[in-house]
Amino acid sequence: MKALVTGGGGFLGRYIVEQLLERGDMVTVFARGEYPELEKIGVTLVRGDLQDDGAVTQVCAGMDVVFHTAAKPGIWGAWDSFYAPNVTGTQHIITACRVQRVPRLVFTSSPSVIFNNAPQEGCDESVPYPATYENFYSHTKALAEQMVVQANSEELLTVTLRPHLIWGPRDAHLLPRLIDRARSGKLVQVGDGTNNVDITYVEDAARAHLLAADALQPGSPVAGSIYFISQDAPVNLWDWIYNLLNRLAIPRIKHRISLRVARAIGVAMEWAYRTFHLSGEPKMTRFLASELAMSHYYDISRAKRDFDYQPQFSMEAALEKTLAYLR
């Protein structure tokens, strides 16, 4: 199979690339950066930007499937900085697939597209999009997700996956930032510490993409569908964080604040960053406060049923592999 992976040099994308290569597929990566380590393992690397519709159309030529993982993540930034790559970039991918007659498109989304600032416990894919969003990433990913679902047709079969809080070896964002804050004494527990969340080990998240792509056939229930992906084992967020820090010999978090206080701080910080055009991102936002204090875990029975997704790693096995990398 000839597969294109957008963002193949990123965290999730690279694991998808490696799993495709392991089973003998031919892989092309479309990315903005240079990744000589990918070329060394047999990947065709094409440098380009999702904003360049001509480049996107050209790289899709001859592909059997496109895995669209590239996106701008984050909790803060200008609307255009999220809209351009996440929405316009996705539209370019859809158009290119149609022009080049690519039969399958697998899109990486996020459960945050349905987060409505309330606890979500065991939700399935029927939960609607909220009326408003508290961050541009979730909003633009929701717009892109809807475009992908609507693009599904006999000529272009599409599927959307929503892996939740991906973590594991080579993570350059989620765990490193958490650990850095803890080591510097700046990590604060938000809420009462009883919230449960889904987290997804990166190798299982990647495997889910391959399973979904293989099941994406005419007449399959996978075509045009959306799926939550996780380890199917929600964790108590703060117990999990405390265990991680303890295993890394990092002192325990000393300070706690309520969700109400954290959201008030988020309101103030968001106002200051918008008003004074401050660089970087606020240490607290309304969205981040809610994510840290509320439960958010999801029902993955649909993925189990439609393309036989089952996590291959237990939470402890995944943690051991990750700790070895972090150390």
Annotated active-site positions, please? 137
- CA pair distance 112, 118, nearest whole angstrom: 12
Q: Is 3 helix (H, G, I), strand (E, B) or coil?
A: strand
SS3 content of the chain, % helix, strand, coil (to 5): 45, 15, 40
Name the DSSP class of 88: I
Q: Give the residue from 207, 164, 167 showing the smallest Cα distance to 325.
A: 167
Residue with tokens 């300070």: 255
Q: Give the residue from 161, 182, 184, 197 showing the smallest Cα distance to 67.
A: 161
- CA pair distance 182, 176, nearest whole angstrom: 10
Q: Parallel, antiparallel, or unpaired for β 235-236 and 196-197?
A: antiparallel
Written as one letter, the residue type at 160 is T
Q: Give the residue from 63, 81, 80 showing the smallest Cα distance to 72.
A: 81
Cα-based angle 182, 191, 276 (whole degrees, multiple of 5)? 70
